[in-house]
Amino acid sequence: MKIMEIFLLFIITIPFIKAQTEGDTGYDYEDAFYEHFDYSGAVEPTFDSAVQNITVKAGHTIILPCRIENRGTKYAIIWKSPDNIILTMDYQPQTDEPRYSIIGEENEWNLQITNVLWEDRGSYQCQINTKPIRYKTVNVNVQVPAAIVDEFSSNDATVDEGETVVLYCNVTGVPRPEVTWYKKPFRGLDIDRQKLDKTGEMLVIKNVSRYCDDIYSCVAENGVSSAVSRQMRVTVEYPPEVTLPSSRMRQILGKATMFECKVNAFPVGETSWRKFGEKIRIKEEDSGFSTDAYEIGGNTWVVTLTITKVRQTDYGKYECYSSNPLGSDSETLEFFPYSVEPKPTKISVEYNDKEKHKLKKSTGYKHDKNSSNKELPIRRRARNGSGDSKSNMTSLHLTLLALTLTITFISLIC
């Protein structure tokens, strides 16, 4: 009986004896991945920090720091990706991806990732295979510069006046880029672009007019790198609009004259001068007409008609007519002869001394020796004018009297 009790006591004390001789480390000695060493008086491995956050731009190189003190010689250090894939063990890569490598000085196992991608974002772990496992977390935030996706953005557009045009500017980037729209005249004016009161990836222009014929640009930026932009030319087609500086002109026979007509249209089409509804044939010899055209900007042309020597048959109505595939327009000009009125003739009167004396007594006019004898006094002219007026009044009275007598005689007969 005593032998049995001694045997059982021996069986119970064996684990305690083993713990005292080997040291109770708490490890599973059957696990081949974890190595055992004597912890008597040893310091456990420690990391420089528990969590670290790093932001990097896509395309750049990033270094994820991992410094471990008191590692010892029996532990392995591994890096794991956000997808829980082992990237490196100690200094050896564990994947076929050449962008991962371990760099650093003593006690450092820093993970270097070159040509960072948007997919590289997430939480990485630097682990040491103690039990329980100790690790450090490095959170990687990847910023992506703003970019415009050409295949999903608008190209140049041609629309008819009155239609609706929609422009797209498809952008990518992290943080999400802000899109601003601008426009600038396509022709003529050398001015800076004008900012539109519109943001977002889509610009809608309703009831487009000829004044919307401009270059539009979208600018995308998110603060990661320089802004990017894309230009789109909007061409608006519309029928001609004809204007004349004047609708009436005059000229003397034998002189030259020129008519001017402004045409605003796109596409330009054909513009001609007509007389009495028929196109003037410039190429005919001895026609006496010539034409010219030049652009002044903004889809506007000036078309002139020159008459080299005005003839009597050249007077009349002229029409400036313009047409394109979208319509037509015209304006009419009237050409009149210009008559020259003769200039008034100056009458000279000579006075002798006797006449001068009579003139002085009747009008109070004092003759200046330095003045010309040809100057007539104003009062003399006034008196002559007054006499003519009295004569005219007398004639009028006689006419009225004769008319009254005639009417009275006719009434007596009836």
Q: Do domains 46-145 and 149-237 have the same CATH topology?
A: yes
pLDDT digits (tens, 9 = 90+) for 214-269: 999 999 999 999 999 999 999 999 999 999 999 999 999 999 999 999 999 999 98
Strand partners, 262: 243, 302
How confident is the model at residue 187, as a pLDDT? Answer: 67
How confident is the model at residue 277, as a pLDDT? Answer: 84
Tokens of 235: 């061409």
Domain borders along the chain are 46-145, 149-237, 244-337, 347-380
Contact status, residue 251 vs residue 337, Cβ threshold 8 Å: yes
Q: Please state, in angstroms and rounded to a whole number, the distance separating the CA atoms of residues 16 and 83.
A: 42
Max CA pair span of the chain: 194
Regarding the domain with residue range 46-145, which homologous superfamily does it belong to in the CATH classification?
Immunoglobulins (2.60.40.10)
How confident is the model at residue 287, as a pLDDT? Answer: 73
How confident is the model at residue 302, as a pLDDT? Answer: 96
How confident is the model at residue 375, as a pLDDT? Answer: 45
Per residue in 248-257, is it b (16+ CB within 10 Å) or e — as a string? ebebeeeeeb
Nearest to 251 by CA among 373, 335, 153: 335
Low-confidence ranges of the chain (pLDDT < 50): 1, 6-41, 371-390, 409-414
User: Can you give the C-alpha Rg of the chain in angstroms?
Assistant: 54
The burial of 99, by beta-carbon neighbours within 10 Å (0-12 exposed, 13-18 middle, 19 or more buried), is given as middle
CATH architecture of the domain with residue range 149-237? Sandwich (2.60)
> Residue 199's Cα: distance from chain center in Å?
13
Regarding the domain with residue range 244-337, which homologous superfamily does it belong to in the CATH classification?
Immunoglobulins (2.60.40.10)
Contact status, residue 64 vs residue 113, Cβ threshold 8 Å: yes
Q: Please state, in angstroms and rounded to a whole number, the distance separating the CA atoms of residues 130 and 128.
A: 6
Phi then psi dihedrals of residue 172, to 5 deg: -135, 165
Rounded-to-5 percentages of helix, strand, coil across the chain: 20, 40, 40
Give the type of residue at 284: E
Residue 246 carries which DSSP code?
Answer: -
Nearest to 201 by CA among 166, 234, 241, 235: 166
At 74 the three-state DSSP class reads: coil
C-alpha distances in angstroms, 179 versus 16, 173, 194, 219?
73, 11, 15, 5
Q: Please state, in angstroms and rounded to a whole number, the distance separating the CA atoms of residues 248 and 355.
A: 54
